[in-house]
Structure formats: structure tokens, C-alpha cells
Amino acid sequence: MATILVTGHRNPDLDSIGSAIGYAELRGRLDGGNEYVAARLGEVNAQTAWALERAGADAPVLVDHVKLRARDVMRPFAVTAFEEDPVRGVGLAMAEHAADVVPVLDAEGALAGVLSERSLARRYIRESQDASDFSGRPVRLEAVCEVLGAEILVTGDGDVSGRLWVLAMKAAALRDIVREGDVAVVGDLPESQLAAVELGVDLLVLSNGTRPGEEVLRAAREARVNLIVSPLDSYVSARMIQLAVPVGRLMDREPLTVEPDDVLDDVTPEILDVDYRAAVVLDEARRPLGLVGRSALVAPPRRQVILVDHAEEAQSAPGIEQAEIVEILDHHHIGSIETHAPVRATFDPVGSTATLVAERFFAEGVEPSRPAATMLLAALLSDTVVLTSPTTTDRDARVARRLGEQLELDVEAFGMEMFRASSD
């Protein structure tokens, strides 16, 4: 569903406001597949304020420009994560949904950082060069068991930390390598298993489904060493343990963020400057709304606009040259506006644009709502000075009479009341 703005000219008069309200209603009722929003390019004058109050209508939304904003091009997140989620689960979700950047949330759902494919790749390269070290980022035992599909035999103290070792050597050689607090992955080597426990490792992982002997079990219980059995071989177990690290330890804690109404042209240089080429769109509570990625910067869709009561670029919204004008409805001369594609354009010499809008209602067999009908009648009478101006046509008079009948009011009396009220 597209959002299409229906807007009059700058410094809007009553015809500009009333026509926008009426035409947005008509198009919305005829086209349920899109959202039509009445917009204005300035504050309403006294006469318009009176008409809005009399009609029980809200003023159109105030629009500063029609340039592309972050909200117009952002895409929803296919994957989100919390700081304590294991990297493996998040990484699998990223692969499944082809997500290159994932917002990481705190306990309140606010943005804490982002996890990118690049950060995962950097970790993999770093761990392939040196021994993995969890001392700066302890890992929950439950997370290790989750990624391994492991069985817990002995639960020790606290989280798992220290360096990660795959032990395939004799027990005597371990004392020069393994330190207290490390993580050891061992196969069916009972002596090495016992030596690792005696050296005070945080976690002993037995690979290939190896079951420990009673001596190893007893020693692990006495030393309060975490002992688990992995169904995977030693190499795969070691690699998978690295993926038990919570994403909060790998994420970028100072990601590029933008607000929904930030102009795309303004934030593009910043987006292209960060290594993951994206910005997170946040609401006022720092909750992620979407992502503006590099793909959104290539031929992004234009904002769609219907112009009523004007066709001059200088009278239209700033950024109109970037927008897609889908229709023009006006009773003035053909102005300087340029469009990117053929559009439906109506320039008809009647007394007000509101007349043209009302005629569209009648032609479609749709009765305007009471607020819209009141605004259209007020706009028509304003531009034609209660049907007395030289630009007034028989069509204006017929439309005014028909709207008056629908509203059950005296057209001339209504118009005179409006002019008196707005001149006080």
C-alpha cells in the first residue's frame, strides 16, 4: 500500500485546504489499495480555521517537503536478536533470511547495537589465527550445550571462561598448555580428561559421545568442573563452542542510527561510510523500526503526490522535483510543473478547485461525508466570493446548490456567515 499525499499550494487558502480534504477522501474511497492523505504547505488562515471548525474536520497534515525520508525507503528487519542470544542461532537466522545486519536489543527492546556479517567474519578469522579466549566474554554453560546438543553430566561454578583447547596429546604435556579456568575438548583419552580436571579447567567437553570413567566424574564433582558430553568430534565441537558467545560481545555498540523523517540525501554519505553500509531507523524510545541499507539508495521509489489548486513548482512543496506527481487538479492556468511520466491532469476554468472535486464525487456516484461536503462548499464560496466573482460559472452555482441541499443549509447565508466570521 502506497501513501499518496494530496496537497494544495504554499500559503494555503480555503480552496487549497478544502480541495485537498475532499479529494483525499474521494480517492481513498475509490482506491482501497492505497492511502490518500490530505496535506498542507503552511498554516491555515482565519477563514479556513472557521470552516474546519464548522465542518468538524481536522486540518490536513503539515508537510515541510516531499523529499525522500528514511521511513520511505526503510525495510523491516527479518531477524532481531537480544544481547544474550548465542551467535550460532542468530547467524543461522541471518543465513536463512539473507540478512546482513541484525539489530541487537536490550531487555526493554531498545537498540543496544548491531551484528553484521562482517563482524562474524572478523571473529572467524581472528579465532583461526590464535587460541580462542573467552576470558573477556564469559559464555553460559547452557548456551554451549545448546550449540553442541550436549548432555550435562556435572555442573560447576558460574559461566565458562578462559582459553579454548582441543587436547589430543598425552596428559604429561598438558601442564605446559592448559591453565586454570580454560576450556578443554578431549576425546577418548581418560588420562588427559583427568589431567584437565586436575588443572582446574572451567569446562571439560568430551567429544564423539565419549562417556567418562568414574574417576573422572568423581574428580569433576569434587573440583566443581563443568563436564558435558558432545555428540560431535573434537574439531567441530571446538568450532561450535565459539558460536555460543552471546551476540552482545560481538556487536557494534555504536551503530549508525537515523530518525524516520531524516532526509535520505542527508544521511546517504554516512550510510556509505560505515563498513556494513546501513543505518537503523529508531523511534523516540530507541526501538528499531527498520533498516536503510545500500540497496535503498539505488533508484529508490519516489514519494507520490497529487497536486490540487496549483501547478507551479514554486508554489508546491520543496522537493517536488524528486517526487512522482500522479495527478493534477486545478482551475488556474497550466504552470511550470514538470513530471517524470505522463499523468492525469485537469485544468478547468471554473471558479474553484473545490467545484472540480465535488463534480468528481457526483460523477462517481459517491456522496461526500458531511465534513468534506462542508469544506468543499466553504472553499467554493470563498474563491467565488459567494458566487459573485467574475470567475464564477454556472457549474459553480450548480455544485453549490447540490452541496447545500445535502447539508440542508442556505448557501448564501452560509457564505455570508463565513466571510463575517473570518473578517472579525
Q: What does the block give as the cell for 60?
A: 490536513
Query: Does residue 159 carry a pLDDT above 90?
Result: no
**Which residue shows C-alpha cell 480517492?**
27
pLDDT in tens, 140-149: 899 999 999 9
pLDDT in tens, 385-416: 999 999 999 999 999 999 999 999 999 999 99
By CB atoms closer than 10 A (0-12, 13-18, 19+), residue 6 is buried
E strands of 250-366, at which residues? Answer: 257-258, 278-282, 288-293, 304-308, 324-330, 344-347
Indicate if 135-244 has the same CATH topology as 71-124+248-287: no
Query: Does residue 129 carry a pLDDT above 80?
Result: no
Strands 81-82 and 61-62, how do they pair?
unpaired
Phi, psi of 330 (to 5 degrees): -150, 160
Least confident of 49-53, 170-174, 283-287: 170-174
Among 331, 159, 321, smallest CA distance to 246 is for 159
pLDDT for 230: 95
Query: Does residue 58 carry a pLDDT above 60?
Result: yes
Domain 3-68+302-423 listed as CATH 3.40.50.700 = no
Provide the whole-model pTM.
0.78
pLDDT band at 336 (very low <50, low <70, confident <90, very high): confident
pLDDT band at 123 (very low <50, low <70, confident <90, very high): low
Average pLDDT of the residues in 188-211: 93
pLDDT for 139: 86
pLDDT for 130: 52
> Across-strand partners of 139?
160
By CB atoms closer than 10 A (0-12, 13-18, 19+), residue 347 is middle
pLDDT band at 127 (very low <50, low <70, confident <90, very high): low
**Which residue shows C-alpha cell 537503523?**
280
Q: What does the block give as the cell for 190?
A: 581418560
pLDDT band at 135 (very low <50, low <70, confident <90, very high): low
Among 158, 154, 149, smallest CA distance to 212 is for 154
Query: Does residue 296 carry a pLDDT above 60?
Result: yes
How many other β-carbons are positioned within 10 Å of the β-carbon of residue 271?
A: 20
Question: Residue 6: CB partners within 8 Å, gap ≥ 6?
Answer: 20, 23, 24, 27, 36, 37, 38, 39, 305, 306, 308
CATH class of 135-244: alpha beta
The chain-wide mean pLDDT, for the chain, equals 92
pLDDT for 156: 83
Average pLDDT of the residues in 273-296: 94
Phi, psi of 10 (to 5 degrees): -65, 160
Q: What does the block give as the cell for 371?
A: 465534513
pLDDT for 160: 85
pLDDT band at 173 (very low <50, low <70, confident <90, very high): confident
pLDDT in tens, 71-105: 999 999 999 999 989 998 999 999 999 999 999 99
pLDDT in tens, 2-24: 999 999 999 999 999 999 999 99
Average pLDDT of the residues in 335-358: 93
Q: What does the block give as the cell for 391?
A: 470567475
Alpha-carbon gap, residue 94 to 119, rounded angstroms: 13
Among 77, 153, 122, 154, smallest CA distance to 245 is for 122
At the topology level of CATH, where does 71-124+248-287 sit?
CBS-domain (3.10.580)
Query: Does residue 313 carry a pLDDT above 60?
Result: yes
Taking CA 261 as the corner, what is the angle to CA 256 and CA 266, rounded to the nearest 5 degrees?
60
In the chain, domain spans: 3-68+302-423, 71-124+248-287, 135-244
Alpha-carbon gap, residue 365 to 193, rounded angstroms: 86
Contact 370, 35 (CB under 8 A): no
Q: Which of the pair, 238 or 6, is modelled with greater confidence?
A: 6
Query: Does residue 131 carry a pLDDT above 60?
Result: no
